[in-house]
A and B are shown apart, each in its own frame.
Chain A
Amino acid sequence: MKNFEMKEGLDLAWCPGCGNFNIRDSIIQALQELELKPQNVVFSSGIGQAAKMPQYIGANYFNGLHGRAMPVAVAIKGANPELTVIAEGGDGDMYGEGGNHFIHNVRRNPDITHLVHNNMVYGLTKGQASPTSRKDFKTGVQINGVVNEPMNPLALALVLGATFVARVFSGDKEQVKDVIKAAIEHKGYALVDIFHPCVSFNKVNTYRWYKEHTYPLDGSHDPTDWNMAMAAAMESDKFPLGVLYKKEGLATFADLQPVYEEDKTAIVRRKRDLSQVNQLIME
Chain B
Amino acid sequence: MNQSITLVFSGEAGQGIQTIEDFLMTVLSKDYFVFSCSDVMSRVRGGNNTTEIRISNGEVSAYKEAIDVLFLLNDHSLERLKSRIHKGTILVGREDYVDDAFLDAFGGTFLKYDFEKMAKEAGGKLFLNTVIFGFTTGMLNVDDGTCKELIEERFSSKGDKIVQDNFQAFDMGYKEGKDYDFSLSFSQVGRLDETMKVLNGTQAVGIGFLGGGCNAVCSYPMSPSTGVLIYLAGKSKDFGVLVEQAEDEIAALNMVLGIWYAGGRGLATTSGGGFSLMEEAMSLSGMTETPCVVHLAQRPGPATGLPTRTEQGDLLQAVFAGHGDYPKIILAPGTLRDGVELGQRAFYLADKYQVPVVVLTDQFYLESIGLMERFELDEKYTETFIIETKEDYLRYRLGEGPISERGIPGYGKGLVKVDSDEHDEEGTITEDFGVRVKMHEKRLAKKEEILKDYVLEELQGDMDYDQLVVGWGSTYGVVKECLETGNYPKTGFLSLKQLYPLRKDLVEYFRKAKNVVVVENNSNGQLAKLLQMELGIKVDHQVLQYDGAPFAVENLKARLEEVLR
| Cβ of B122 under 8 Å from chain A | no
CA distance in complex: A277, B207 (Å): 7
The answer to whether A65 touches B420 (Cβ under 8 A) is yes
Residue of A nearest to B414 (CB): A39
The answer to whether B211 touches A277 (Cβ under 8 A) is yes
* Interface hit among A66-74, A223-231, A236-244: A66-74
The residues in B between 385 and 427 inclusive whose CB is less than 8 angstroms from any CB of A are: 408-410, 412-421, 427
Residue from A40, A47, A64, A79 in contact with B242 in the complex, judged by beta carbons closer than 8 Å: A79
| Cβ of A136 under 8 Å from chain B | no
Residues of A within 8 A of B382 (CB): 272, 274
Name the distance in Å between B276's Cβ and chain A's nearest Cβ: 15
The answer to whether B259 touches A64 (Cβ under 8 A) is no
The residues in B between 241 and 259 inclusive whose CB is less than 8 angstroms from any CB of A are: 241-244, 246-248, 250-252, 254-259
Name the distance in Å between B224's Cβ and chain A's nearest Cβ: 21
| Cβ of A132 under 8 Å from chain B | no
The answer to whether A257 touches B281 (Cβ under 8 A) is no
| Cβ of B438 under 8 Å from chain A | no
Residue from A62, A70, A82 in contact with B410 in the complex, judged by beta carbons closer than 8 Å: A82
How many A residues face the partner with a CB closer than 8 A? 55
| Cβ of B165 under 8 Å from chain A | no
Name the distance in Å between B381's Cβ and chain A's nearest Cβ: 9
| Cβ of A127 under 8 Å from chain B | no
Residues of B within 8 A of A73 (CB): 258
The answer to whether B409 touches A39 (Cβ under 8 A) is yes
- Considering residues B197, B242, B257, which has the most beta carbons from chain A within 10 angstroms of its beta carbon? B242
**What sequence of 0s and 1s flags, for each residue 30-58 of chain A, a beta carbon within 8 Å of any chain B beta carbon?**
00000000111010100100001011001
The answer to whether A263 touches B261 (Cβ under 8 A) is no
The answer to whether A64 touches B254 (Cβ under 8 A) is yes
Q: With A64-B420, A71-B246, A79-B264 in contact, is A40–B258 under 8 Å at CB?
A: no
The answer to whether B418 touches A61 (Cβ under 8 A) is yes
The answer to whether B428 touches A282 (Cβ under 8 A) is no
Residues of A within 8 A of B246 (CB): 71, 104
Residues of A within 8 A of B321 (CB): none
Residues of A within 8 A of B340 (CB): 281
| Cβ of A267 under 8 Å from chain B | yes
Residue from B213, B257, B428 in contact with A72 in the complex, judged by beta carbons closer than 8 Å: B257
Residues of A within 8 A of B266 (CB): 75, 79
The answer to whether B197 touches A281 (Cβ under 8 A) is yes
The answer to whether B280 touches A103 (Cβ under 8 A) is no
The answer to whether B254 touches A75 (Cβ under 8 A) is yes
CA distance in complex: A280, B421 (Å): 43
| Cβ of B439 under 8 Å from chain A | no
CA distance in complex: A157, B417 (Å): 30
Name the distance in Å between B55's Cβ and chain A's nearest Cβ: 23
| Cβ of A83 under 8 Å from chain B | yes
Residues of A within 8 A of B251 (CB): 68, 70-71, 100-101, 104
CA distance in complex: A269, B416 (Å): 17
Residue from B256, B410, B417, B429 in contact with A75 in the complex, judged by beta carbons closer than 8 Å: B256
CA distance in complex: A61, B420 (Å): 11
Residues of B within 8 A of A39 (CB): 409-410, 412-415
Residues of A within 8 A of B284 (CB): 64-65, 68
The answer to whether B256 touches A276 (Cβ under 8 A) is no
Name the distance in Å between A85's Cβ and chain B's nearest Cβ: 9
Name the distance in Å between B476's Cβ and chain A's nearest Cβ: 20
The answer to whether B377 touches A75 (Cβ under 8 A) is no
Q: With A72-B261, A267-B240 in contact, is A78–B281 under 8 Å at CB?
A: no
The answer to whether A76 touches B415 (Cβ under 8 A) is no
| Cβ of B320 under 8 Å from chain A | no
CA distance in complex: A65, B420 (Å): 7
| Cβ of B239 under 8 Å from chain A | yes
Residues of A within 8 A of B238 (CB): 276
| Cβ of A182 under 8 Å from chain B | no
The residues in A between 252 and 283 inclusive whose CB is less than 8 angstroms from any CB of B are: 257-263, 267-270, 272, 274, 276-278, 280-283
Residues of A within 8 A of B416 (CB): 60
Q: With A65-B284, A68-B254 in contact, is A83–B215 under 8 Å at CB?
A: no
Residue of B nearest to A268 (CB): B263
Residue of A nearest to B384 (CB): A271
CA distance in complex: A40, B412 (Å): 10
Residues of A within 8 A of B262 (CB): 42, 75-76, 79-80, 83, 268
Residues of A within 8 A of B154 (CB): none
Name the distance in Å between B265's Cβ and chain A's nearest Cβ: 9
Residue from A78, A267, A278 in contact with B377 in the complex, judged by beta carbons closer than 8 Å: A278
| Cβ of A113 under 8 Å from chain B | no
Residue of A nearest to B413 (CB): A39
The answer to whether B247 touches A270 (Cβ under 8 A) is no
29 residue pairs of the A-B complex, CB under 8 angstroms, read A44-B258, A52-B429, A59-B415, A63-B418, A63-B419, A64-B254, A70-B251, A71-B250, A72-B255, A73-B258, A75-B216, A75-B244, A76-B258, A76-B259, A76-B261, A79-B263, A80-B409, A82-B410, A100-B250, A101-B251, A267-B215, A267-B240, A270-B240, A277-B239, A278-B211, A281-B207, A281-B340, A282-B197, A283-B197
A-B contact sample (16 more), CB < 8 A, given A44-B258, A74-B258: A39-B410, A40-B409, A40-B410, A55-B419, A62-B290, A62-B418, A76-B259, A78-B244, A78-B255, A78-B258, A79-B242, A100-B251, A104-B251, A267-B215, A267-B242, A278-B376
Pairs of residues from A and B, 7 with the lowest C-beta to C-beta distance, nearest first: A75-B258, A268-B263, A79-B262, A104-B247, A72-B258, A75-B255, A79-B264
Interface residues of B (CB under 8 A from A): 197, 207, 210-211, 213, 215-216, 218, 236-244, 246-248, 250-252, 254-259, 261-264, 266, 280-281, 284, 288, 290, 340, 372, 374-377, 379, 382, 408-410, 412-421, 427-429
